A and B are shown apart, each in its own frame.
Chain A
Amino acid sequence: MRIRRDRSGRRRRFSGRVHAPSGLSLTSLMDILTCLLFFVLKSFVAGGESTVPPPGLTLPSSTADHAQTTSLVVAVQKDAIYVSGERIASVSEVLGEDGMVIGPLAQRAEAARDQMDQLAVQRGGKPVESRLVTIQGDSDIEFRVLRKVMYTLDQSGFPDIALAVLKKA
């Protein structure tokens, strides 16, 4: 009881002298948010949206360490083949055909090749001789699908092929 009276008396005595800051100090929180913002911006994939594998596609894991560069992107899912995010053929159709060339893929690849050449000429250069294509294949696809895709791309003017993989931790 006595202790409580002493404390309340002390509180009364100091209440006139101590001025607690009235506003909330946001400076330290701002520092944290600024760091977080820069970290998130730095974590973005530089290559753009088309380099991100489509949902449902699991890339194979690998110890490869080559960074990807901007290129035509062909995604091979378990059920369909996509070029730059657009579905162009189903895997069952591809496997049903006898030949090695996938028709719709060849058309799209040739159109992309012509577009690349036109851009190069407009910029004052020569048509591109070596064109790179990145294949984002699902880890469970069979080699017979991959072989047809690679062969078609090679025949359509994309001899340089990069296989996209997930880097092992």
Chain B
Amino acid sequence: MSVRSRGRSSRHVVDCDLELRPLMNVFIVLIPMLLMSAVFMEIRVIEMSAPQAAATASTQPEQPALHLALHVRGDSYVLTGTGIPAAEFGRDAAARTGRLDAATSARLTEALARIVAAHPEDHEIRIVAESRTRYQEIVTLMDLARNAGLSDAALEGSMEDA
């Protein structure tokens, strides 16, 4: 916007536009700097309890009635609990790559969901991992348990490793 004033003797133009160029310069420096230092990863956390030493497992206080546990074995997962028959699931892909395949994930989720439906008061599960079990596999198993309704997962080392 410019205001043009016309006097009888003089004629001058007053420029009322904001001087934005210095601010622009600051922004142009600031934005790449912020973009370079920004972190766009969405980091979340899984809150949990520390693993119990296998040797001291028998001295732990009273456990919930179901004692649900998912054991990671060499080539299989074994789901155990008080009053439920042990169920075994293949672990070929995860043993090789550390990542569960979709079919095993679906079967495990289904089995866990059935147990949760039968015992809605229990939300605890122990994931009993082997020494060489990969961290990603453990996190995936915890995800499956949580998605099935078992929100309180604890990690434990297997007896063979103790």
Tell whether A pairs with B.
yes
Q: Which residues of A contact B (CB under 8 A)?
A: 23, 26-27, 29-30, 33-34, 36-37, 40-41, 43-45, 51-53, 59-69, 100, 134, 137-144, 146-147, 150-151, 153-154, 159-167
B-side binding surface: helix, strand, loop or mixed?
A: mixed
Question: 0/1 per residue, B34-74, Cβ < 8 Å to A?
Answer: 11001111111111111101000000000000000000000
Is B147 on the interface with A (CB-CB < 8 A)?
yes
Pick from A52, A143, A163: contact of B157, CB under 8 Å: A143
A142 touches which of B20, B24, B135, B155 (Cβ 8 Å):
B135
Contact of B134 among A36, A61, A140, A166 (CB under 8 A): A140
Q: Is the CB of B44 within 8 A of A143?
A: no
Question: In the complex the two chains form, is B50's CB within 8 Å of A66's CB?
Answer: no
Chain B residue at minimal CB-CB distance from A67: B44
The total number of A-B Cβ pairs within 8 Å is 150
Contacts of A51 in B (CB 8 A): 43
| Cβ–Cβ < 8 Å partners of B53 in chain A | 100, 151
- Asked whether B130 is an interface residue with its Cβ less than 8 Å from the other chain, the reply is yes
In the assembled complex, B82 has its CB within 8 A of some CB on chain A: no
A53 to B157, CA, bound (A): 26
Cross-chain contact B23 with A30 (CB below 8 angstroms)? yes
Nearest CB in chain A: distance from B129 CB, A: 4
Cβ–Cβ contact A140 & B31, under 8 A: no
Q: Is B136 within 8 A of A143, CB to CB?
A: no
A143/B135 in contact, CB under 8 A = yes
Residue in A23, A66, A137, A142 whose beta carbon sits within 8 Å of that of B133 in the complex: A142
- Contact check, A143 vs B130: say whether CB atoms are below 8 A apart: yes
Determine the distance from Cα of A120 to Cα of B35 in the docked complex, in whole angstroms: 36
